[in-house]
Structure 1
Amino acid sequence: MAGTDLLGRVNDVVVGRPTTVVAAFLVVTLLFVPGLASVSTEAGTEQFTQDSPAQTAFERVNEDFGPTFEPDSGSTQLIQRGRNVLSKPELLRMLRALSRLDEREDIRVASTSSAASTVARTLDPSATTLDAQRRAIEGASPGEIDRAVDEAADSPGFRSQLSEDFNRESATASATIAVVQHRIPGGVDAAAGMGGTSPLTAIQLRTERVVDTVGGDIVVFGSGLVSQEFSTIIFDSLFIVVPAAVALIVLFLVYAYRNPVDLVLGLFSLVMTLVWTLGFLGLAGIPFTQLLIAVPPLLLAVGIDFGLHAINRYREERAGGYDIRESMAVANRQLLVAFFIVTGTTVIGFSANAVSDLGPIRDFGIIAAVGIVFTFLIFGIFLPAAKVAIDELFDSLGIPMPFQRPLGREETLLGRVLPVGVEIARRAPTVFVALVLLGSIGAGYYGTGVDTAFSQDDFLPPEDNPAYLEELPEPFRPGEYTVTERTNFLEENFESAQDDTVVVYVQAPLRQDDALESIQRVSRNPPETFVASNRRAEFQSIIGVIRAYANQSRSFARLVERSDVDADGVPDDNLEAIYDRLLASPLRDQALSFITEDLRSARVVYTTEGGADQGEITVDARTVADRYRFEATATGSVVVFQDVADTILASAVQSLLVALAATAVFLVVIYRVLVGRASLGIANLVPILVTITLLAGTMRLFGLPFNALTATILSISLGLGIDYSAHFVHRFADEYDERIPGEDLDGEMPMDAVVPALTATVTGTGGALTGSMLTTVSGIGVLVLAITPILGQFGILTALSILYSYLTSMVVTPSVLVVWARLAG
């Protein structure tokens, strides 16, 4: 057949011209090396939200209503802590910090806002500069400062800058926040790069150095520093995970290979796989994201499996007395077919993630699939050729190659344990398969209740590093991470940080008489997650700005009163005249934060209950948006994140269904073409279906949700799990065929040849599968050492999926094949 003929010709080149093959692969490796230096990073949640409809609306809001309402865009927070941040020395310290920042041209200060400035202006209304404000505080007595604090406390804006323990009577608070707005260079996105190289990141790093010169407990916080920390976490995680994985892998491979030459060859092939994949990443200009941290361990998992099978199968032939090239020709002819099947199904499993609506998950699936193809080429062609070249070199020098006994021989302890699945298949295969399928249905049904989650916390390190990480020697010990601690501090101490907000973007003719009435009307009887008073939602809109200016201008107040036909405090006539007066007033900028200058769009911000469920807030926000008579869209960070969470669940289901359908078709076709039995493809699929249902049930049992990374786990489990069952089934087909020489597999199948074929498969391929399972479970399991929770969860689930795949292949597959043989025969 064409497929087997092609693989046969490839095998002839591998065995016949091994030195040429090795040289060609080394040259290709050198071509990929420059790509390693070009690998860039991308981190944070922005990469997941950019394709969300809610994010598109949010960006439109930011464009229409100015950068003030883009969270942390172009701004830095100074968090000051102490016994009393409203004392004279602490107020002066904050003003000194702001003044030093303002003096630095490279920090590009556009404006500052702080409780200290408010107190100074209360003492001296003419103190409009930071220097003047500092002089006002210096010249005031403690009693005068206390009275100024009491007066300033009437302003909600002043109170929002102070911690919840603010005491008006004693003029004390333990923390305050100052905000510095920066002028980002024109035409450059403040978040550009997101890898610690954005303009805002550089500005905030300089801000930290300046603030440190002031003394006291003032720390800097902002989106640029968060982005830099995300990137730092990527490298720190890799620096912990990769060496730990290598150490464990080497430990198990020493036992599996028991030969230093084969060990070095296997490790060198693994390194080549990583160089090819990461080099491709750099040459293709694809940034290395947090999700892609999982790709190297996955490639190591498949590469270890291929390497152990290649060496172990070759040793089986050598143990039979065949010479080097003849042994490799027989072993690799069989394994190339098995590797091709495994590669095809694994690529399908990984690339099924390309149907995801989330860009990072698509990139993950594509890069992982490319890496698997590289793994097939290196371990299916390079490693066998290198093994032949090395063994012939040793043979020509008269140096014996030590430790050549294959794993899993019957006389070993492992060889006596492995046939447990064959024993079950011999005694009661049908009953056992029926029980397994019933248990799988139950586990799958239970697993449908797995939660879905997406938040920035998934990517943040814990507030305190685990003790075992702190005990690591340099340079493996992780750095100090501040983002989580500062985020938690803000949420615990500032009321404004506890409540979330949702934005409704309204596109309406705001000149229309009932435009403002409609905004007011929607606020009645709000949903449960919305903060309410007297059965009205708490919201900010252009209505609040109109009321604020009416309190400042009597003539404007009279205009509003004349235009309020129903006397409910909201004008419903002469709206264009009201807008014209408002946009010509000192409150113009504030007004343009809620309406556009062309009076075609409005922004309404609703406050939601702190701690309310993200999904419930999103549902309620969309309910409120639907109440508008005009076109209205619910958005804001909460809605955007829930959009991503919904997309994650859809991606998990879609990827699994696509992977299942494509894998089933591939296996049926490939077994028909290569073996002559299409139904073997279905038998091959049964163990992995059991694995997927067990994994889903385990996720729910241990409370592990689908998130940005674990959303890929089901399709990955299918791709990796097929590895074990495909090796098992393909080896069984070969062993069975040898026991009925000359018999066409399309004819009747003697049942007395099935169990011996299973026994030979288990003691031959089973040994390599066991070694592969131990190394890959430990190699991928080290992801639990990663600093971010999302990688730890992925490591646990991937390790479990490999363990389940191994167990189902060794225990369930023999009974499935006996049942299949009875039905097929």
Structure 2
Amino acid sequence: MDFELNYQRYIDIADHWIADRPKQVILVFLILSGVFATGLGQSGTESGTSQFVDDVPAADALDEVNNNFERITFEGDTGTTQLIHSGQNVLSKPELLRMLRAQHRLSKNPEIQVESTTSVAQAVARTLDPSAETFEEQIRVVETAAPSEIDQAVQTAAERNPQFRASLSNDFNARSASASATIGIVTHQLQTETDSGPGSSGSSPLTSIQQQAVFIVDSVGGDITVFGSGLTSEELSSVISDSLALVVPAAVGLILFFLIIAYRDPVDLLLGLVALAMAILWTFGFMGLAGIAFSQLLIAVPPLLLAVGIDFGIHAINRYREERIQGYGIQESMRTTTDQLLVAFAIVTGTTVVGFAANMSSPLGSIQDFGIVAAIGIVFTFLIFGVFLPASKVYADQLCQRYPIPTFGSQPMGSEDSLLGRVLLAGVHIGRAAPKTFVIVLVLSTAWVGVYGSGVESRFSQDDFLPPEENPEYLEYLPASVQPSEYTVTETTNFLEDRFQTGEEDTTTVYVEGSLTDDGALESMYRAGDSPPDSFIVDDGHARETSIITVIRSYADRSPEFAALVAQNDRNANGIPDDNLVTIYDALLDSPARGQALNYITDDYTSARIEYAVEADATQDEVTSDTRTVSDRFRFKATATGGVIVLKAVSDVIGESALISLALALVGSGIFLIIAYAALEGRPLLGVVNLLPIAITVAGIAATMRYLGIPFNVLTGTILSIGLGLGTDYSAHLIHRFSEEYERGTDVFIALTTTVRGTGGALTGSMLTTVSGIGVLVIAITPVLGQFGILTGLTILYSYLASIIIVPSALVIWSQFVESDITRFLSGNNFRVNQ
């Protein structure tokens, strides 16, 4: 069966509209731009780590834990704010009064929606006078107490209440009643649910509450910092806008500089910039109309569009100039240009779309959004630079002929008498001298580099999104309008870690679901902690745990009546009831221990959580593996969860997504290229040649990531598919141009020389522009953006070098086999295209 594709008639239709009716084409694109402009501003922003944990089982389990236990005693939605108090001694009389006054002023303000508030200062006041319930009474008690009485109250409170010590910094000294920091907690009863659906900004009423709390707390003086998820979310959102405000002007300046060199004509420069702006507008407008929120991951999209758009634009103008300097007219030159470039652009677009669409295989919605937006953006770029830009160039040149408008640089880059034109021929010289040896060495070295690069680690952490603790000094020399905000979240987080972590243990959680009223249910839960794994802290051969069992034992120690009930239903006298568990639970929930019990079991007795203590220096891998080992011991449905495990789970998904999407992209791109070259050129093996520089680029960037210690994270996890897309872009232009030159019956080296000088010149201008414009991301505020900028810049450089140096040798080898029996069969009538 013949595989025929009469594509030339479609190219002729496009030629007709571009060359003969450019004004109508321009008008249509301007109308479409107006439509997409309506979508600007309709998409919100998402920040932080929560956007990446959808559909991750460990994260779903943690949500269940938070919903079932953390908020079980409240109606509606709640949130908390931390009051981080630091000073020479936060347990001194003046500092205790300062904290009490801050809490008092917060509780009196109805807009703060205070549900409850706790602090060390309150505990000291109640120790001094147990009847002091209100803030007014507690303030009065502390004001009238002598310093020695306060010191004694601190010592007493520390002895009676273990939580008292937990709220103080590591340097707490009970004997001297001193500490350098403490944390107060304010719980808010929120009236509005947080909107976290698609297209939302991720903000919550807690943000405005905490912003207002800052001003209230500042009114009491001293060093009390308001800290919470609302302010953190706000800062993380501002990091995006501040990064863009910092990077975009620098990128625009560098891109403009190199585009001036590449175009050397103000009219062509203006057309190129308008087309770039249009591609960005269409893509972001589409996001707004589709309700896709802008996240840190989507910061990668504008650089991609710039990279491909700059490349397409320079190729279009450069190829047109090659025809014009030979004396052809405007319309004839543009027809020749679009005849060639629309096919090349289509190959690049198709392969790049396949590469980015492979991200749809990821279970993470944020990575799926990236794949959709990037693929759509590349299609928009193809239309704008393949149709709009050529039509605009025709119309502009016609105006220049009609009116006395001066023209400037009109020579194509890489001409024969230029230094660049001679340097670009290095790959051709290698292909003439020893192409087979060169390619064999490359294949073997690429295999080794790929094996080395496969060891890249994956990592997911809130730290990936945080700004530095101190902004770099060079930012101080920037204009005030682009200087970033002063960020506190990293400094505060580091302060909490330094001052309040004991350095001995962390916790991990197992979420249990099932009928917890069955006889022996609690015994089986407890046995899961026997002979715990290495990262778990051990007490007498059992994991140190906090669960409903510890609540039962604790309350039995305080209540003889409840202890008797437990003993009646305890078969082995170990303090864990075996029978009549409904009666045990009911009695516990009717007791003063109800609140504590509901932190570990739901009131319908179908879900429970067990917190295990783990070594603080244990790795994510160790904690995750060991918690899963323990969860597998439960006879009920049990899920390992907790902050550490969620981060590890998402990290694994990111790494797996990067590799799976890369494999799908390589296979899909290979199939697409072979079919495309068979259908369009009648030469399917050119698709295989096109894959060689792609494989080298991807292997090289993976190895570079490992060498530089840059892991796969939420942003760099997309770099392999980006490398595939850009690698295809550069090599496809060369191969398609070579195919046309070779089709004319010229010698392979003559065809290569013409190709490398003409198309290679445009590639050089594109490479310099995009590497500098995207590489400027290294000055972004967040480290993850800097890493992405470095890797994307290197990806473009690797793609360029692979195309200029390696593709010529591969094409020489291809030409030596072009008349072989296999190739003759593949490129014969079965695959020939009717033009």
The normalised TM-score by structure 1 is 0.96
Q: How far apart are residue 569 of structure 1 and its match?
A: 3.0
Which position in structure 2 is the counterpart of 1:232? 238
What whole-Å deviation, never above 9, does each CA across 1:457-506 have from its counterpart, x for those lacking one? 11111111122233322211111111111111111111269843221112
Residue 98 of structure 1 pairs with residue 109 of structure 2? no
Which position in structure 1 is the counterpart of 2:826? none
- What one-letter code is carried by the residue in structure 1 that aligns with 2:626? D
Q: How far apart are residue 507 of structure 1 and its match?
A: 2.2
Q: How far apart are residue 194 of structure 1 and its match?
A: 7.2
In the alignment, which of 25, 28, 45 is matched to residue 24 of structure 1?
28
Q: How far apart are residue 372 of structure 1 and its match?
A: 0.7
In the alignment, which of 398, 417, 433 is matched to residue 411 of structure 1?
417
- What one-letter code is carried by the residue in structure 2 that aligns with 1:25? F
Residue 474 of structure 1 pairs with residue 497 of structure 2? no
Residue 361 of structure 1 pairs with residue 345 of structure 2? no
Which position in structure 1 is the counterpart of 2:114? 109
- Tell me the SS of whatever aligns to 1:182: strand
Which position in structure 1 is the counterpart of 2:829? none
Change (3 A) 1:147 1:193: farther
In the alignment, which of 29, 34, 47 is matched to residue 43 of structure 1?
47
Residue 134 of structure 1 pairs with residue 139 of structure 2? yes
In the alignment, which of 488, 493, 500 is matched to residue 494 of structure 2?
488
> In the aligned structure 2, how far is the partner of 1:193 from the partner of 1:76?
26
- What one-letter code is carried by the residue in structure 1 that aligns with 2:646? V
> In the aligned structure 2, how far is the partner of 1:651 from the partner of 1:681?
25
Residue segments in structure 2 that go unaligned for 5+ positions in a row? 820-835
> In the aligned structure 2, how far is the partner of 1:261 from the partner of 1:54?
56
Which position in structure 1 is the counterpart of 2:801? 807
Q: How far apart are residue 807 of structure 1 and its match?
A: 0.3
Q: How far apart are residue 173 of structure 1 and its match?
A: 0.3
> In the aligned structure 2, how far is the partner of 1:575 from the partner of 1:732?
80
Mapping 1:77-476, distance limit 5 Å? 77-154=82-159, 155-185=161-191, 187-188=193-194, 195=201, 197-476=203-482
Which position in structure 1 is the counterpart of 2:773? 779
> In the aligned structure 1, how far is the partner of 2:315 from the partner of 2:504?
55
Q: How far apart are residue 610 of structure 1 and its match?
A: 1.7
Are 1:92 and 1:137, in contact at CA under 8 Å, matched by a contact in 2?
Answer: yes
> In the aligned structure 2, how far is the partner of 1:206 from the partner of 1:496?
32
Which position in structure 1 is the counterpart of 2:757? 763
The normalised TM-score by structure 2 is 0.95
Residue 672 of structure 1 pairs with residue 678 of structure 2? yes
- What one-letter code is carried by the residue in structure 2 that aligns with 1:724? Y
Are 2:511 and 2:639, in contact at CA under 8 Å, matched by a contact in 1?
Answer: yes
Q: How far apart are residue 188 of structure 1 and its match?
A: 4.6
Q: How far apart are residue 584 of structure 1 and its match?
A: 0.6
- What one-letter code is carried by the residue in structure 2 that aligns with 1:99? H
Are 1:191 and 1:199, in contact at CA under 8 Å, matched by a contact in 2?
Answer: no
Which position in structure 1 is the counterpart of 2:694? 688
Q: Which segment is superposed worse, 731-740 or 553-562?
A: 553-562
Change (3 A) 1:73 1:676: farther
Are 1:194 and 1:228, in contact at CA under 8 Å, matched by a contact in 2?
Answer: no
Residue 4 of structure 1 pairs with residue 40 of structure 2? no
- Tell me the SS of whatever aligns to 2:714: coil
Residue 726 of structure 1 pairs with residue 769 of structure 2? no
> In the aligned structure 2, how far is the partner of 1:388 from the partner of 1:348?
32
Are 1:81 and 1:218, in contact at CA under 8 Å, matched by a contact in 2?
Answer: yes
Which position in structure 2 is the counterpart of 1:568? 574
Q: How far apart are residue 192 of structure 1 and its match?
A: 11
Which position in structure 2 is the counterpart of 1:65? 69
Q: Which segment is superposed worse, 704-713 or 571-580?
A: 571-580
Q: Which segment is superposed worse, 128-137 or 715-724?
A: 128-137
In the alignment, which of 652, 672, 675 is matched to residue 646 of structure 1?
652
Change (3 A) 1:135 1:551: farther
> In the aligned structure 2, how far is the partner of 1:287 from the partner of 1:192?
6
> In the aligned structure 2, how far is the partner of 1:717 from the partner of 1:8?
33
- Tell me the SS of whatever aligns to 1:611: coil
Which position in structure 2 is the counterpart of 1:749? none
Q: How far apart are residue 389 of structure 1 and its match?
A: 0.6
> In the aligned structure 2, how far is the partner of 1:499 from the partner of 1:482?
26
Q: How far apart are residue 433 of structure 1 and its match?
A: 0.2
Mapping 1:542-621, distance limit 5 Å? 542-621=548-627
- What one-letter code is carried by the residue in structure 2 that aligns with 1:98? Q
What whole-Å deviation, never above 9, does each CA across 1:625-664 have from its counterpart, x for those lacking one? 1122222111112111111111111111111111111111
- What one-letter code is carried by the residue in structure 2 that aligns with 1:149? V
- What one-letter code is carried by the residue in structure 1 that aligns with 2:25? V
- What one-letter code is carried by the residue in structure 2 that aligns with 1:56? D
> In the aligned structure 2, how far is the partner of 1:302 from the partner of 1:140?
72
> In the aligned structure 2, how far is the partner of 1:287 from the partner of 1:119?
47
- What one-letter code is carried by the residue in structure 2 that aligns with 1:676? G
Are 2:58 and 2:646, in contact at CA under 8 Å, matched by a contact in 1?
Answer: yes
- Tell me the SS of whatever aligns to 1:607: strand
- Tell me the SS of whatever aligns to 1:205: helix
Residue segments in structure 1 that go unaligned for 5+ positions in a row? 741-752
Q: How far apart are residue 189 of structure 1 and its match?
A: 5.9
Q: How far apart are residue 328 of structure 1 and its match?
A: 1.1
Q: How far apart are residue 516 of structure 1 and its match?
A: 2.3
Residue 792 of structure 1 pairs with residue 786 of structure 2? yes
- Tell me the SS of whatever aligns to 2:38: helix
- What one-letter code is carried by the residue in structure 2 that aligns with 1:120? A
In the alignment, which of 694, 698, 703 is matched to residue 704 of structure 2?
698
Are 1:166 and 1:172, in contact at CA under 8 Å, matched by a contact in 2?
Answer: yes
> In the aligned structure 1, how far is the partner of 2:8 from the partner of 2:90?
78
> In the aligned structure 1, how far is the partner of 2:268 from the partner of 2:617?
56
Which position in structure 2 is the counterpart of 1:56? 60
> In the aligned structure 2, how far is the partner of 1:130 from the partner of 1:508?
43
What whole-Å deviation, never above 9, does each CA across 1:193-216 have from its counterpart, x for those lacking one? 874741111111111111111110
Which position in structure 2 is the counterpart of 1:748? none
> In the aligned structure 2, how far is the partner of 1:68 from the partner of 1:247?
55
Change (3 A) 1:192 1:560: farther
> In the aligned structure 2, how far is the partner of 1:57 from the partner of 1:240?
39
- What one-letter code is carried by the residue in structure 1 that aligns with 2:810? V
- Tell me the SS of whatever aligns to 2:632: helix
Are 1:688 and 1:722, in contact at CA under 8 Å, matched by a contact in 2?
Answer: yes
> In the aligned structure 1, how far is the partner of 2:611 from the partner of 2:462?
22
> In the aligned structure 1, how far is the partner of 2:169 from the partner of 2:195?
32
Are 1:191 and 1:200, in contact at CA under 8 Å, matched by a contact in 2?
Answer: no
> In the aligned structure 2, how far is the partner of 1:793 from the partner of 1:499?
32
Change (3 A) 1:193 1:653: closer
Q: Which segment is superposed worse, 628-637 or 543-552?
A: 543-552
> In the aligned structure 1, how far is the partner of 2:428 from the partner of 2:614?
60
Are 1:492 and 1:498, in contact at CA under 8 Å, matched by a contact in 2?
Answer: no
Which position in structure 2 is the counterpart of 1:744? none
- Tell me the SS of whatever aligns to 1:627: coil
Are 1:205 and 1:225, in contact at CA under 8 Å, matched by a contact in 2?
Answer: yes
- What one-letter code is carried by the residue in structure 1 that aligns with 2:97? L
> In the aligned structure 2, how far is the partner of 1:512 from the partner of 1:68?
23
Q: Which segment is superposed worse, 446-455 or 51-60?
A: 51-60
Are 2:195 and 2:203, in contact at CA under 8 Å, matched by a contact in 1?
Answer: no
- What one-letter code is carried by the residue in structure 2 that aligns with 1:780? I
What whole-Å deviation, never above 9, does each CA across 1:561-611 have from its counterpart, x for those lacking one? 444332323333443332222111111121111112222222111122223
Q: What is the total number of aligned residue pairs between the two structures?
A: 812
